[in-house]
Amino acid sequence: MSSVRKAVYRIIEPAERGDLSSKIFDIFMLLLIVSNILAVILETVKPYKFYVYFEIISVIIFTVEYLLRLWTAPENPAFSRPVSGRIRFALTPLILIDLIAILPFYLPMFVGFDMRIVRVFRLFRIFRIFKLGRYSKAMHLLGRVFRSQKEELLIVVVIMLFLIITSASVMFYVENSVQPDHFRNIPQTMWWAVSALTTVGYGDVVPATVLGKILGAFISIMGIGLFALPTGILASGFTEELRLHRQAMGKEPSARGNFCKHCGKPLD
């Protein structure tokens, strides 16, 4: 059984160069995922019985894939323990996405027959698009960028939350007496603060007082600079990751030694 599990693990993991069986499996899963996303979209245009049968077949395949990944998890040194390793493996982001991909089919069996709830669960099928991340180099690159820039992005998120709360609080005290319906409380005013700081400005809630308009203009200008920060951070991260990747592939000379051929990180 150990040799069988190793063989299955090698097949269902993203293919390495020269591994034909794993490559075929990857292509099949990619086509199945894309077909499922198209089916979810087209089903809203005109439902056919075909979509029901296709969903059943897809769920069976995704369920078998999910169970095989749990079964073969101990082949990965990071999850080598039979029980605790599988539990930790089941809580990793990609495996949670695999679980979400099949839950919409099974959950209605346990929550009754309220069709509104069933439709909500069926909408969750669109999350299957995130399964593409396992096979997409672009998604892996995006993940590396977010991991490498997580401290900077966290700081920006904290600053955003601070400005949203501050802007909503100030605007509430300025506009509440004039527009009690639109600026009833601070949580409700946060909607205006978000639309102003993002410079979207839906126009459904606008300041009426002179002071409110001045504050609104100032807050909108601050939003331009604020939301440019994560753009610059991510652009810088992408540039660095692409440079490391090109160096790892030998497309660009390296001044800092060797790089990992899989992730592009510098080697010690």
Q: Which two tokens stand for residue 157?
A: 């998120």
pLDDT-derived band at 249, boundaries 50, 70, 90:
low
Residue 35, phi then psi, degrees to nearest 5: -65, -40
Asked if the model's pLDDT at residue 237 lies above 70, the reply is yes
pLDDT of residue 201: 78
Q: ∠ CA(236), CA(230), CA(197), 5° rounding? A: 155
Q: Which of helix, strand or coil describes residue 185?
A: coil
Task: List pLDDT tens digits, range 73-101.
Answer: 999 888 988 899 999 999 988 888 888 88
pLDDT of residue 14: 72
Mean pLDDT of the chain: 81
* CA–CA distance, 43 with 41 (Å, rounded to integer): 5
pLDDT-derived band at 46, boundaries 50, 70, 90:
confident
pLDDT of residue 263: 57
Select the more confidently predicted residue: 182 or 137: 182
Asked if the model's pLDDT at residue 156 lies above 60, the reply is yes
Select the more confidently predicted residue: 231 or 63: 63
pLDDT of residue 211: 92
Asked if the model's pLDDT at residue 42 lies above 90, the reply is no
Task: List pLDDT tens digits, range 106-151.
Answer: 877 776 655 445 555 556 666 666 676 666 676 777 778 888 888 8
pLDDT of residue 72: 93
End-to-end CA distance of the chain: 37
pLDDT-derived band at 55, boundaries 50, 70, 90:
confident
* CA–CA distance, 171 with 204 (Å, rounded to integer): 15
CB neighbourhood size of 7 (10 A)? 13
pLDDT of residue 15: 65
- Residue 33 makes CB contacts below 8 A (sequence gap 6+) with 128, 129, 131, 132
Asked if the model's pLDDT at residue 253 lies above 60, the reply is no
Task: List pLDDT tens digits, range 57-68.
Answer: 999 999 999 999
pLDDT-derived band at 200, boundaries 50, 70, 90:
confident
- Domains of the chain, first to last: 2-134 (1.20.120.350), 136-268 (1.10.287.70)
* CA–CA distance, 79 with 86 (Å, rounded to integer): 6
Q: Are 86 and 112 in contact (CB under 8 A)?
A: no
> What b/e readout covers 184-219, taking b as 16+ CB neighbours within 10 angstroms?
eebeebbebbbbbbeeeeeeebbbeeeebeebbeeb
pLDDT of residue 115: 46
The stretch 27-40 carries a mean pLDDT of 86
- Residue 171 makes CB contacts below 8 A (sequence gap 6+) with 183, 189, 192, 193, 207, 212, 215, 216, 219
Task: List pLDDT tens digits, range 128-140.
Answer: 666 766 666 767 7
* CA–CA distance, 12 with 31 (Å, rounded to integer): 15
Of 94, 100, 108, 92, the C-alpha closest to 125 is 100
Taking the model in full, what pTM does it have? 0.61
pLDDT of residue 94: 82
Q: What is the DSSP string of 166-191?
A: HHHHHHHHHHTTT-TTTSSSHHHHHH
